[in-house]
Copies of this chain bind each other. A is one copy, B any other.
């Protein structure tokens, strides 16, 4: 029940460096060449977060950095060759991810331009839009923003209020913000640089003789500024000003007062309006159409999770390096002081987060690869169910990875004491920048709930537009038994499960089969019990609001358990593919620490629901300590393998020691 015994010697420095390089190959994965290109670019251009610049200067600096990146080629990678790109989605995502080792302001502004605005044109538009915009937006001749969020509607996109009413007399759409709450808000690029906006609005149109009716949310290209940067007639932009971080991103607001755009500006891949106002769509159901459109935008969510992960690794590399140079209090014998990393509390605060960073980095790579494969395939051959599963997985990994990054950077800052509070050592800047990643591209709580709901209802299309109450009623009426999503386990996972005792208590806790079983059992248990509780909504006197409120924390827990389970499965699978014995041995210990710390954090649940015994629970707690001690000699190797560009670690607190 105790973790594998280790050879505690870290070997010579050469061996450590060599091992770090082999680990890095595993972490870098399929788009390693892209990673290295961006690392070199960060290194040579010193693309690091700054303090003390005015908003204007910072924004101009970042725009300049974007221009320097065009030549690297990856902005074109995000677009199909027939649209003017080079069609390597994985490279496009990985490049922006790697900017998490540099300045997140650049990452976000690049992500808005090429990922969100570009992604809307690419995925929701048709040939006329691709011809008109794609080349220009790659080269930054066309600067755009992504105007989805509204002041009053953060996570509730389907009910946003901006309207786009078709006027057959002039063949134009009239874009309008009917209420203060319908103002577009927090829009990156809207405060200063964007000349175009991809505006999400409720389309209202009717055919000849028909009353105009709402057709649901669609996306429109709306010019918002003239060549001098002045608001166009009817458009009012304003500046969100200073934020908790990301000072290089010009977030702003946009209100529309009956702004007219040509009919051609509707991004009409999934819904079109004829000259006479007749609406048509290849997808009959409004609801399915909305979620199909939204689904094509999944890349933003993947990218945000990935970049946050990189930033989290950056923060951990800073803190671990500091803990390996900083001494505190006297060592025995009086010759010098102990290194911070020699203290158990310090190991415990950093090393489990390093282990989680490994686990999530590998899961993130898998999501990026799946996204790439689906988005570069012939659209006609893509199974919509695969798309749905990818969307859920992207939501899961986004929520998990951004939460981990925020936590890791906060812990890293605190673990560096006063030095960690100085901007010159970068951690406070990382901390300010990462903070909003838990909120944008889907609030983490909302996403975690979404993940749980999908699990509970087997990805039923019908549930996606339901409010909480409607959803409760739906689940309650699923004939009393919730059909759990029974995807076949990956083969390696199944083999390991088969090779472990059905009662996890009888099987070593370092056996991956036991680990998988514990996390699977937790998820199954939580899913079954929440389904049972939701079923009560069928009772005559049940108040669905009360039922929903009553089960919400349980539902969130289903989502969290799911996230940790799928991350572990990927980790296990990746380790199975590693050939090098030494690399594999170290990764297994990292995986063990990941699992032990996941178990430890939720130990009360495992105990209360009798999934572990008191004795095993104590072994988990001891095991975290032992694994931390085991991995202590490899701490440098583990963070070196992240491959943070040297310029990012060349900070005053790490010099001259």
Contact = CB atoms under 8 A, between A and B. Distances in A.
Interface of A: 51-52, 54-55, 149, 152, 154-156, 159, 180, 185-186, 240-245, 327-332, 337-338, 342-345, 348, 410, 413-414, 417-418, 420-424, 427-428, 431-432, 435-436, 438-440, 443, 445, 467-469, 544-545, 549-550, 552-553, 556, 600, 603-604, 607-608, 610, 614, 617-618, 621, 625, 656
Contact of A417 (B154, B414, B545): B154
A407 B240 CA distance: 25
A610 B614 contact: yes
Contacts of A337: 156
A52 B52 contact: no
A552 B421 contact: no
B553 A625 contact: yes
18 contacts: A51-B242, A155-B417, A156-B329, A156-B337, A244-B413, A244-B423, A244-B427, A244-B428, A244-B431, A245-B428, A329-B467, A338-B468, A344-B549, A344-B552, A348-B553, A414-B435, A553-B625, A604-B607
A328 B159 CA distance: 10
Contact of A617 (B51, B186, B332, B607): B607
Contacts of A469: 330-332
A345 B448 CA distance: 12
Minimum-distance CB pairs A-B, first 8 = A244-B428, A603-B604, A51-B242, A242-B423, A330-B467, A604-B604, A607-B607, A344-B552
Contacts of A544: 332
A556 B343 CA distance: 12
- Counted per complex, copies of this chain come to 2
A345 B552 contact: yes
A617 B435 CA distance: 33
Contacts of A545: 331-332, 338
Nearest to A545: B332
Q: Which of A180, A185, A338 has the most CB of B within 10 A?
A: A338
Contacts of A549: 342-344
Nearest to A555: B345
Contact of A418 (B186, B421, B445, B553): B186
Contact of A440 (B345, B418, B443, B467): B418
A410 B413 CA distance: 14
Contacts of A607: 603-604, 607-608, 614, 617
Contacts of A329: 155-156, 159, 467-468
Given A329-B467, A344-B552, 8 more contacts: A149-B418, A159-B329, A243-B428, A343-B552, A345-B556, A604-B607, A607-B607, A608-B614
Contacts of A240: 422, 424
Nearest to A449: B345
Nearest to A601: B604
A421 B439 contact: yes
A113 to B, nearest CB: 20
Contacts of A344: 549-550, 552-553
A512 B391 CA distance: 49
A155 B180 CA distance: 52
A550 B624 CA distance: 12
A159 B330 contact: yes
B423 A241 contact: yes
Contacts of A603: 604, 607-608
Contact of A608 (B159, B414, B468, B617): B617
A370 B211 CA distance: 76
